[in-house]
């Protein structure tokens, strides 16, 4: 409520700034004029002459010139119409200020601002650190710790996946490399490193990333992540049959309750391998549930942010798809569906975007 009161006060002040000069019948300053400047210049010549800076002849010439300008300026001043009051115009200006100004300000502000949000200064928040965001703080602590003990392999191992989650892929890559250096090589770390490398390249399995996955496989031929991404590399290279072969081999060896099973099956469908048409959503959601609560809370924060951003700017088809996908992964089908309809609305005016959206939805297994 105070906020609106403050807004009102500010608006009144702004309106007052316009009305005040209009209300005064006799304006205070009628302003200076050129004659003052020229008189000043004449006085200055006298001063200069007195202190001997300019010669008498020069001074005379200058005086003549300035006097001429002075006369011209005085003439002009007389010829000019004297200021007059134009009441009709003043009334228009007053109305403009009284109605136009608040109207423009309110319209623009309501479009841009977020009056429902209060302040969140850090001082007031760290006491009641909300459970949804502890990771970012932890990261800072762990980073500080590692600054002092750069050979702490366990620290790097803990930090690396978090950095990856935060989207700091460059840092994650370094952290994984350090973890491998100081905490020992393992198939999992190699595969994670490869995944972080992919992150730096925007999701493309680069040669570097592929090399890491291959190293992971060399250490443990059954490492699921390494195998999966090698398959993805093959798919990205256009070798769909190779990809299918890799993934089929994975499925054949995998235990029936492996959490990643549905994902590989979905990928297999994508490259046209043997179909295993179980809809992956629920299984994926189940897999997610096995993760620690921290992580899911953090993902939720990200998803919420994405949703807010899309509410402000709905042009981003990729973003909408990611949002829908994220809700599906989190097992919130209702939200996914409402996001979907929001997305349709947001891009309804743009045929090209709508087509992209529908195509993307098809890939997600949602035809409409």
Partner 1 sequence: MIAEAGHYALVLALGLALIQSTVPLLGARWRDAALMNVARSTALAQLLFVAMSFIALVTLHVTSDFSVVNVYENSHSLKPLIYKITGVWGNHEGSMLLWVSILALFGGLVAAFGNNLPLSLRAHVLAVQAWVAGAFYLFILMTSNPFLRIANPPIEGRDLNPILQDIGLAVHPPMLYLGYVGFSISFSFAVAALLEGRIDAAWARWVRPWTLMAWIFLTLGIAMGSYWAYYELGWGGWWFWDPVENASLMPWLAGTALLHSALVMEKRNALKVWTILLSILTFSLSLLGTFLVRSGVLTSVHAFATDPARGVFILLILCVFIGGSLSLFAWRASALKQGGLFAPISREGALVLNNLFLTVACATVLTGTLYPMAYEVLSSDKISVGAPFFQLTFGPVFVALLLAVPFGPLLAWKRGDLLGATQRLLAAGIAALIAIALVWAWTYGGATLAPLAIGLAVFVVMGALCDVAERIGLFRMPLSISLRRARGLPRAAWGTMFAHAGLGIALIGIVCETTGNTEYIGAMRPGDVVPIAGYQLKLDGLTPRPGPNFSETIAQFIVKRDGATVSTMTPSKRSFATRGMSTTEAALLTRGASQLYISLGDATADGAIAVRIYHKPLVLLIWWGPVLMAFGGLLSLSDRRLRVGAPKPAKAPRALQPAE
Partner 2 sequence: MTRKQRRLTLICGALAVLAIAAGLVLNALRDSIVFFSTPSMVAEKHIGPGKRFRLGGLVQPGSLKRGENLAVSFSVADGSATLPVAYTGILPDLFREGQGVVAEGALDASGTFRADNVLAKHDETYMPKEVADALKKQGHWKDDYGAKPSASAAPQPAQGTMR
Site for partner 1 in 100-119 (CB under 8 A): 100-101, 104-105, 108-109, 112-115, 117-119
Binding at 176: pick from partner 2, partner 1, none (beta carbon under 5-8 Å per type) = none
Handedness of CA 357, 362, 366, 367 (dihedral sign): positive
Q: How far apart are CA 1 and CA 312, in angstroms?
A: 24
Contact 246, 227 (CB under 8 A): yes
Binding at 341: pick from partner 2, partner 1, none (beta carbon under 5-8 Å per type) = none
Site for partner 2 in 132-161 (CB under 8 A): 161
Quick check: 127 binds partner 1 (CB under 8 A)? Answer: no
Would you call 149 helix, strand, or coil by DSSP? Answer: coil
Q: How far apart are CA 220 and CA 222, in angstroms?
A: 5
Task: Using the rule CB under 8 A, give the single segment among 87-95, 204-212, 239-247, 346-354 that binds partner 1.
Answer: 87-95
Quick check: 75 binds partner 1 (CB under 8 A)? Answer: no
Q: Which two tokens stand for residue 207?
A: 């040669």
Quick check: 273 binds partner 2 (CB under 8 A)? Answer: no
Residue 291's CB: how many other CB atoms inside 10 A? 11
Q: What is the maximal distance between C-alpha atoms in the chain? A: 111
# residues near partner 1 by CB under 8 A: 98
**22 vs 166, beta carbon nearer partner 2:** 166
If you write DSSP's letter for every residue of 52-74 in order, what string do you get? TSS-HHHHHHHHHHHHHHHHHHH
What's the chain's length in residues?
368
Minimum separation from the CB atom of position 153 to partner 1 (A): 14
Quick check: 335 binds partner 2 (CB under 8 A)? Answer: no
Contact 245, 271 (CB under 8 A): no
∠ CA 123-126-128, nearest 5°, is: 120
Pick from 56, 78, 79, 83: which binds partner 1 (CB under 8 A)? 83
Q: How far is CA 68 from the centre of its chain?
A: 63
Pick from 56, 78, 79, 81: which binds partner 1 (CB under 8 A)? 81
**122 vs 290, beta carbon nearer partner 2:** 290
Binding at 99: pick from partner 2, partner 1, none (beta carbon under 5-8 Å per type) = none
**97 vs 326, beta carbon nearer partner 2:** 326
Distances in whole angstroms, Cα of residue 264 to Cα of each of 71, 108, 161, 217, 286: 94, 49, 22, 17, 15
Task: Using the rule CB under 8 A, give the single segment among 12-20, 30-38, 57-65, 167-175 that binds partner 2.
Answer: 167-175
Site for partner 1 in 7-46 (CB under 8 A): 7, 10-11, 13-14, 17-18, 20-22, 24-25, 27, 29-34, 36-38, 40-41, 43-44
Phi/psi of residue 14, nearest 5 degrees: -65, -45
Contact 216, 188 (CB under 8 A): yes
Residues that bind partner 2 (CB under 8 A): 161, 165-170, 195, 198-199, 201-204, 208, 224-225, 228-229, 232, 260, 263, 266-267, 284, 287-288, 291, 299, 302-303, 305-306, 309, 318-319, 322, 325-326, 329
């Amino acid at each position: 409520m105070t906020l609106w009161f403050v807004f009102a006060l500010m608006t009144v002040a702004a309106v007052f700034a316009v009305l005040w000069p209009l209300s005064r019948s006799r304006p205070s300053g009628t302003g200076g004029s050129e004659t003052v400047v020229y008189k000043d210049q004449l006085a200055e010549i006298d001063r200069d002459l007195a202190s001997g800076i300019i010669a008498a002849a020069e001074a005379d010439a200058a005086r003549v010139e300035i006097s001429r300008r002075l006369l011209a300026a005085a003439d002009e001043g007389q010829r000019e119409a004297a200021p007059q009051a134009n009441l009709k115009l003043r009334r228009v200006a007053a109305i403009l200020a009284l109605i136009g100004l608040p109207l423009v300000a309110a319209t623009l502000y309501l479009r841009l601002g977020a009056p429902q949000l209060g302040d969140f200064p850090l001082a007031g928040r760290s006491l009641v650190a909300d459970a949804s965001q502890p990771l970012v703080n932890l990261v800072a602590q762990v980073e500080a710790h590692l600054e002092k003990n750069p050979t702490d392999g366990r620290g790097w191992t803990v930090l690396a996946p978090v950095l990856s989650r935060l989207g700091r892929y460059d840092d994650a890559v370094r952290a994984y490399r350090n973890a491998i250096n100081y905490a020992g090589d393992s198939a999992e770390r190699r595969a994670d490193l490869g995944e972080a490398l992919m992150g730096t390249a925007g999701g493309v399995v680069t040669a570097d990333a592929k090399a890491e996955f291959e190293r992971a496989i060399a250490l443990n031929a059954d490492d699921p992540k390494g195998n999966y991404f090698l398959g993805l590399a093959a798919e990205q290279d256009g070798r769909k049959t190779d990809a299918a072969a890799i993934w089929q081999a994975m499925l054949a060896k995998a235990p029936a309750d492996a959490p990643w099973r549905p994902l590989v099956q979905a990928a297999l469908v994508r490259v046209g391998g043997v179909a295993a048409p179980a809809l992956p959503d629920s299984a994926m959601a189940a897999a997610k549930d096995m993760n620690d609560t921290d992580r899911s809370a953090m993902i939720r924060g990200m998803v919420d942010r994405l949703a807010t951003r899309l509410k402000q700017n709905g042009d981003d088809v990729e973003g909408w798809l990611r949002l829908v996908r994220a809700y599906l992964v989190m097992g919130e089908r209702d939200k996914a569906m409402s996001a979907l309809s929001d997305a349709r609305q947001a891009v309804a005016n743009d045929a090209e975007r709508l087509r992209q959206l529908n195509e993307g939805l098809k890939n997600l297994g949602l035809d409409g």
